[in-house]
Structure 1
């Protein structure tokens, strides 16, 4: 099974940001940037999810089309990978970007990043996601 790590490295009261790594055996490749809500005790629609290991399954969203859903998050459902630039574009989901700006805070080229994400996972029905919280720096 494919494994992806989301390594969070920026967090403050406005945002949580990180980097996705694609893991293939012993090879680890930095890939895309992420933007999530700040940590608000895992409250639905307004918080990022807790660090941990999850299974992500391919799904079709009425809004975002084909994507992946993070499953088995206690007390939460419908956590998707999708496009968007700012915290206001997510309700507890994970936004993807090819670049980021912690000063704004935002991820950029998000639709392109989502397309790259789905292209890389072509034919994959599920993968393991490990979310790791680093020592944080605050967004500028």
Structure 2
């Protein structure tokens, strides 16, 4: 049986702040939408920056670290192991903010405040909903700025 083509997805980012970069992730074919948070833009520096705007292929893989499947990006310039997983905050640690990300995209169903900084909430259930919607198919994610 021939594998299904990748699901087309879009991540529309708002302008970043030191507390993180909020976005909206949509996968129209499976009627999925949620919020995202990433690190602020720091010139694509490993572990401290969101990744550059562009179109990326992602695949599902098992993560022992998360004890879960995650979606991992292919071919991010100068980066490796960039993933979509759960987490709530993605601030610039050098400025005293907290972060659950080392350059990855975190998902949530609501925008909120945690530890006095912008965040996404209900992350684990939202991430499970994302995994169920994607059904293990590869993704073709277009990341754009609003």
Alpha-carbon distance in structure 1 between the residues aligned to 2:133 and 2:72: 16
Displacement of 1:101 in angstroms is 2.5
Q: TM-score, normalised by structure 2?
A: 0.83
Quick check: which has more Rg, 1 or 2? 2
Q: Do residues 20 (structure 1) and 25 (structure 2) align?
A: yes
**Gaps spanning 5+ residues in structure 2: where?**
1-5, 91-98
Give the counterpart of 1:99 among 104, 110, 127: 110
Output the CA distance in 1 between the equivalents of 2:8 and 2:28. 5
* RMSD over equivalenced CA pairs, Å: 1.7
Given that 2:32 and 2:130 are in contact with CA atoms closer than 8 Å, whether structure 1 keeps it comes out as no
Given that residues 19 and 30 in structure 1 are in contact (C-alpha distance below 8 angstroms), is that contact kept between their aligned partners in structure 2? Answer: no
- Partner secondary structure for residue 14 of structure 2: strand
Structure number with higher strand proportion: 1
Q: Name structure 1 gaps, 5 residues minimum.
A: 135-140
Q: TM-score, normalised by structure 1?
A: 0.86
Is 1:82 aligned with 2:93? no
Q: Which runs of 4+ in 1 moved over 6 A?
A: none
1:1-140 matched pairs, under 5 angstroms: 1-24=6-29, 29=31, 31-64=33-66, 65-87=68-90, 88-101=99-112, 104-124=117-137, 126-134=138-146
Q: How far 1:123 moved relative to its partner?
A: 3.7
Answer whether contact 2:37 2:105 (CA < 8 A) is retained.
Answer: yes
Q: Hey, what's the Cα distance between the residues in 1 that align with 2:143 and 2:26?
A: 10
